[in-house]
Amino acid sequence: MKVKVLSYVAAIITILFSTSVFAAAPIKIGALFAVTGPAAFLGEPERNSAKMVIDEINKAGGVKGRKLELVAYDTTGDATKAVQLATKLIKDDKVVAIIGPSTTGETMAVIPVAEKEQIPLISCSAGSKITDPVKKWVFKTAQNDALAVGKIYEYLQKTKQTTVSILTVSDGFGASGREQLKSQAARYGITIVSDDTYGPKDTDMTAQLTKIRGSHSQAIICWGTNPGPAVVAKNARQLGIKTPLFMSHGVSSKKFIELAGEAAEGVRLPSGKVLVCDVLPNSESQKKSLMLFVKDYQKHYKSEGDHFGGHAWDAVMLLKNAIEHGADTPAAIRDQLEKTKNFCGIGGTFTYSPQDHAGLGKDAFVLVEIKNKDWVIVK
Amino acid sequence: MKRDLLLFTAFSLFIMVAPQIFAGGYLMNVLVFVGINTMLAIALNLLLGYAGQISLGHAGFFGLGAYLSGILTTTYSLNPWLAMPIAACVVGSLAYLIGLPVLKLKGHYLAMATLGLGIIIYIVFNETVDLTGGPSGLSGIPNLHVAGITFDSDVKNYYLIWGVTLAVMLFSLNLAGSRVGRALRAVHDSEVAAQVLGVDARGLKVQIFALSAIISSLAGSLYAHTMTFISPASFGFNFSIELLTMVVIGGLGSIYGSFLGAALLTLLPEILRGANDYDIIIYGALLMVMVMFMPGGLVRGVPALFRKVFSRKAEGGHA
């Protein structure tokens, strides 16, 4: 008798479980973003965008009938926390892939975990060394610094400016930029005549700029994220420096124009196409994705979507495409990701291959100039 | 004495069986960091709780240990087991030399000096890009391995880290109970009185500062080999403050208190994660309440709370 009851119970449990697994079990996607702390300007739009696009996918019926579930944690920009949370995502939440982290430092810390546990990681940070050399389980959506530097140097070469001063921030972003600026200079026939750095929290760069003024370079390139570059722009204006000022894609959001005010006028920088999406020609292959993203972001969060949020948007969409191709295990998703071809995202047109896990070409960037508090494409 | 030994044995047993309860999950990983933080809290407690000398730069010593181990094993491909004592010796000597002038200062001035020291070390990590990899960090640090075992999983690392932590604990407990421990407490209460009684207060302060730095460096080396990646952000001023909070919340002048403080401050953010965006507020409020109502730290406050609750119950029973 008892055995019979037990077997009934067992049967019922099996049925309950199997139906829940096969019919409705959502596919869990992990995310690590620095929503608070010094890198919050990256993490917040990234988390917002990831949430937004996953909600939309689910509203439209999910992927192949299965819903996606986002498990997002805040790393506060701390590498130790990022590693702990990556472990949590993999072991406790059993996610099939991880999006993020937001900064290069955190990503480098998480890579050994992803490689060991064999979970695909799509980083939203820019550092070139994330995918160079290529790591089996690691992809990224943010444009390489190398591409941004190339874009500026190309322009300088075209306009026959050969001497530059560089001023970089002493954090991961600035260090990576400085490395690229120095290593690529020779290829474009450019000489770096002064090389200075500033601290991420500095509020006055007059000293560095005075030195730069003395070096008589033809262009100044400042590599950093808000608010430092805004201070540089203001100080340069106060000192009456007329040398053209270039910035990195780290400040390509409206926030920079707000912070620098008048001083932002005439500043040029490489940027993802999201800033200028409304003036892009209709023939542009990315335009559809860009307009969709900007409109959605405006609707959900009442603010302008920037390219940081775009990195997370791209990561989710890349995963969605992989899952649509029938992949639902970490290994299958990784293999599908590597086969991604001509995916038009926010950051650019992605084509991954076994030799390239960054996936973007130089056309990911356009050079823009700030005119009348808005962006204009530099031809 | 017998009671102390019993307590330590019970504690060690608890630590050794803990993985059987939490095994597999992500909590194992957090418990590894509880071990590292316990080591650091004990190091700082020896200095602050026993000798009464504040340091706001201990994250710097922790970082030095991590970076020395990291650089020696990656750039110079030295054996990790050799790099660790070298790092500890270098950091210890450095702390001794710096301690000589700095520990003449007292109170706020000592706090300022050690604060400066921590910040200088942090800036060095950031700016010497060729050596440390700068702000984007140093990667590819090898895991420790011994006799065919590579410490590359959370469970293995747990036993490695906690093995060392327990040794540090035992050493510190013995130190605290010895003549030196009593001398340290005498210096804490009154330097002049201690000197009158024949304690070399200045020498002792510098020695304990160096010892504290050596333990921190050891924790740093272990951290580097467990994480296999280090970046300056983990060794900044904020972490020095977090260590100080662990020591104060746990209980000044108590080795077990350091464990409680480290465990609480490492685990609390994980527990509060469920509260989403409010976790920071709850975290802050909890710390404030604890400091207000348990000024002696958890190690004294919790037993006192129990006594209070039970005596009230007993009174209720009589009435």
Mind listing the pLDDT tens digit for each residue in B103-115?
Answer: 999 889 999 999 9
- The residue range of the domain holding B151 is 2-318
Count of CB atoms situated within 10 Å of the CB of B193? 12
Q: Is the pLDDT of residue B121 over 90?
A: yes
Outline where DSSP puts E strands in A114-159: 121-123, 138-140
Distance CA B290, CA B277 (A): 22
Q: What is the pLDDT of residue A329?
A: 92
Distance CA B16, CA B14 (A): 5
B53: CATH: 1.10.3470
Q: What is the pLDDT of residue A225?
A: 86
Q: Is the pLDDT of residue A23 over 80?
A: no
Residue of A nearest to B269 (CA): A81
Average pLDDT over residues B258-270: 92
Q: What is the pLDDT of residue B225?
A: 95
Cβ contacts of residue A196 below 8 Å, gap of 6+?
A165, A166, A167, A168, A208, A211, A212
Q: What is the pLDDT of residue B173?
A: 94
Helix B80-102 vs helix B58-74: crossing angle, to nearest 10? 150
CB contact under 8 A, A79 and B233: yes
Sign of CA dihedral B140, B141, B143, B148: positive
Least confident of A13-27, A46-60, A261-275, B59-73: A13-27
CB contact under 8 A, A80 and B234: yes
Q: What is the pLDDT of residue A17?
A: 52
Percentage of chain A surpassing pLDDT 70? 94
Is A111 in the B-facing interface, judged by CB distances under 8 Å? Answer: yes
Per the prediction, chain A carries an average pLDDT of: 88
What band does A326 get if pLDDT is binned at 50, 70 and 90?
Answer: confident
Residue of A nearest to B139 (CA): A108
Cβ contacts of residue B96 below 8 Å, gap of 6+?
B206, B207, B209, B210
Is B157 in the A-facing interface, judged by CB distances under 8 Å? Answer: no
Q: What is the pLDDT of residue B37?
A: 96
Q: What is the pLDDT of residue A21?
A: 47
Residue of B nearest to A129 (CA): B136
A321: which 2 tokens?
């495409």
What band does A311 get if pLDDT is binned at 50, 70 and 90?
Answer: very high
Q: Is the pLDDT of residue B245 over 90?
A: yes
Identify the helix (H) or strand (E) that includes residue A68. Answer: strand A68-74
Q: How many domains does chain B have?
A: 1
| Domains of chain A in sequence order | 11-144+287-363 (3.40.50.2300), 146-272+365-377 (3.40.50.2300)
B310: which 2 tokens?
């039970």
Least confident of A366-375, B41-50, B197-206, B265-274: B265-274
pLDDT digits (tens, 9 = 90+) for A120-137: 999 998 888 888 889 999
Residue A225's closest CA among A246, A197, A256? A256
Optimal mutation site among B30, B120, B154, B231, interface A, most CBs of chain A within 10 A: B231
Is B129 in the A-facing interface, judged by CB distances under 8 Å? Answer: yes
Judged by DSSP in three states, A286 sits in coil
Residue B239's closest CA among B112, B60, B33? B60
Q: Is the pLDDT of residue B319 over 50?
A: no
Chain A 90-109, residues with CB within 8 Å of chain B CB atoms = 90-92, 104-105, 108-109
Optimal mutation site among A32, A73, A74, interface B, most CBs of chain B within 10 A: A74
Given the cut 0.90, state whether the ipTM is greater than it: no
Q: What is the pLDDT of residue B1?
A: 64
Percentage of chain A surpassing pLDDT 90? 53
